[in-house]
Amino acid sequence: QVQLVESGGGLVQAGGSLRLSCAASGIIFSISTTYWYRQAPGEQRELVAAITTGGSTDYADSVKGRFTMSRDNAKNTVYLQMNSLKPEDTAVYYCAKTYRGVNYWGQGTQVTVSS
């Protein structure tokens, strides 16, 4: 059974930093691309970052230069380092991946950035 479990969210002031983690069981992160998404209240879910099997990363324009996605293969965990946070980064953040046609999602972790 595949499980993705996010952690690390919280309340932070604008300009602050948080590091989100997503630990996997039942699946190995490095076998396919892994994603971070976010969803703000009343908004559609938005792709924030991705990391490929080879470790290449890509980011939404809104977070480029501020967020960094990484992966620790030994811990089977992916991270999202978020710096220079803005109130508009407030959302529930989810890690996700697709494997053999099945989409897997974590339960999400709330990030709230106060102005």
Query: For residue 30, what pLDDT is reported?
Result: 86
> Cα separations (Å) of 13 from 90, 102, 115?
11, 37, 6
Is residue 91 predicted with pLDDT exceeding 90?
Answer: yes
Q: What is the pLDDT confidence band of residue 27, given thresholds at 50, 70 and 90? A: confident
Is residue 31 predicted with pLDDT exceeding 90?
Answer: no
